[in-house]
Amino acid sequence: MSIPHDSDGARARAFGRRGLLARLLALGSLPWLAVRAAGAAHQRPTRAFAAEEVATALRELFGRDDIPLSPKVRIGVARLAENGAVVPVKVDVDLPHVDEITLLATRNPVPLVGRFTFGPRTRPFVAARIKLAETSEVLAIARRGDELLMARAAVEVTVGGCG
């Protein structure tokens, strides 16, 4: 009968050592997580979000504002939005290996609506609900490496959504 008690005690000591090791590994990874979080915070395009004009936001994001239109980037949005607070938008890009899709609204107080990044094997598709202050164009820019392509769609808003 003493054998089960010994093995239970050995099991408890082993679990205690494993638990201690797991806790030490978790504590050791905290500095790494903090560095990653700080790096992600620096990637936020604060100057582009602060831009009040589309051209300025594009220059802040991509270093240029002369982005060509392409049929490979498609925007699905209603031409008439009754409520600018909730405008469904879909963007689909017919290219492989797209790094990001950026949405802008030309007449919003802050034109940059959002940026969506993709992994190397992710289908470049975005579905979102955005706010439009008034009737404007929605721009979708797809970035693949250094290549930039754009699509635009006009949306008439009957009730503004930004204020």
Q: Going from the first residue of the chain to its last (163 residues), give the mean pLDDT of each consecutive group of 10, the final group possibly shorter.
A: 54 66 73 61 70 90 94 96 92 95 95 92 94 94 96 90 60
Helix (H) / strand (E) element for 128: namely strand 125-130
pLDDT value, residue 37 = 59
Question: Which backbone phi and psi does 67 adopt, to 5 degrees?
Answer: -95, 125
- Residue 117 CB contacts under 8 Å (≥ 6 apart), including other chains: 99, 100
Amino acid 41: pLDDT: 47
For the chain, what are the domain ranges?
A: 65-159
The CATH superfamily label for domain 65-159 reads SoxY domain (2.60.40.2470)
Question: What pLDDT score was predicted for residue 52?
Answer: 84
- What pLDDT is attached to residue 161? 60
User: What are the tokens at 44?
Assistant: 């936020």
User: What count of other Cβ atoms lies within 10 Å of the Cβ of residue 106?
Assistant: 17
CA distance 74 to 150: 9
Alpha carbons 11 and 3: distance in angstroms, whole number: 12
